[in-house]
Amino acid sequence: MSPKRVERLEKTLARVAREQGLDQERLRRWVSFLALCGVLERAAGDGVLDGYYLKGGVAMEIRFATGARATKDMDIGLDGERSNRMTILERALALGFDAFTFRLKAQTRNMDMADTIRVPVAVQYRSRAWQTIDVDLGPTGAGSVELVTPVIHGLAEMGLPVISPIRCLSLADQLAQKLHACTGPHSEGRARDILDILLIDLLGNLDYSKVREAAVRLFSERATHAFPQEISIPPDWRVQLRAMAVELGYPVTDPAAIEDRFRKLLASITRAEG
């Protein structure tokens, strides 16, 4: 690709972001996320990897676009032993997707509490640098997969391909993981999960009995703390909750009201029967 063509792509991104009312950097990350989804799906189809799904913030954005908070990291559940996941990902990325190519960078980090490896992936478009994305490689576990049609917009307007559907962790399992994260012994800094959980409930047409089943299974597997019957949001989370609620356009922004909604949701999940 010539420098002039790259410049036109950058200008196209700026124009589309302006027309769609999107932050340019968020649209750039969406391009990278969807390109990575494309190469993973190609690798699954070619038998290079056995199974994968998206989870975390990117899976939320795939489902809800700007209704979800922006994220910079891509969480992937990948079949295989921890020691082999890097090799599996490297083989998958070597296939490329459309005009995108990918390269693993050396600065990996083990996240022992989550059985996860964080690896930076350099994304290139027609052999020129586009962006580097941190990818968290975790196990697939017992969670179920849902095929999701992405509601992210802007890529088609840029003339770029969008893979569909995308394999995402089910909403019930994703909510269970977030509930575990924000109520456990390592919940410091997890205020964002409270809003994520409430947004999933607001936008996702949840089946509470499936959420309860997924949560009971996950809490039992991880055995770090009991499934909570009551919840009290730490006082130092309140400022962050208010700011995130305003940013996302959540219908309630008062931290006390957010806590009340969260308690009612937890009660609904606890009472649900399969």
Q: So what's the pLDDT on residue 33?
A: 97
Span of 85-94, 107-116, 159-168, 235-244 with lowest mean pLDDT: 107-116
What are residue 123's DSSP bridge partners?
A: 102, 131
Mean pLDDT across 153-173:
94
Mean pLDDT across 179-205:
87
Given a cut of 60, whether residue 1 has pLDDT beyond it is no
Q: Where are the domains of the chain?
A: 3-169, 172-271
pTM summary value? 0.89
Given a cut of 60, whether residue 86 has pLDDT beyond it is yes
Three-state SS string over the chain comes to CCHHHHHHHHHHHHHHHHHHCCCHHHHHHHHHHHHHHHHHHHHHHCCCCCCEEEEHHHHHHHHHHHHCCCCCEEEEEECCCHHHHHHHHHHHHCCCECCEEEEECCCCEEEHHHCEEEEEEEEEECCEEEEEEEEEEEECCCCCEEEECCCCCCCHHHCCCCCCCEEEECHHHHHHHHHHHHHCCCCCCCHHHHHHHHHHHHHCCCCHHHHHHHHHHHHHHHCCCCCCCCCCCCHHHHHHHHHHHHHHCCCCCCHHHHHHHHHHHHHHHHHCCC
Mean pLDDT across 134-138:
93
> What rounded mean pLDDT belongs to the chain?
89
Tens digit of each residue's pLDDT (9 = 90 or more) over 203-218: 877 899 999 999 999 9
Dihedral sign, CA of 166, 171, 177, 178? Answer: positive
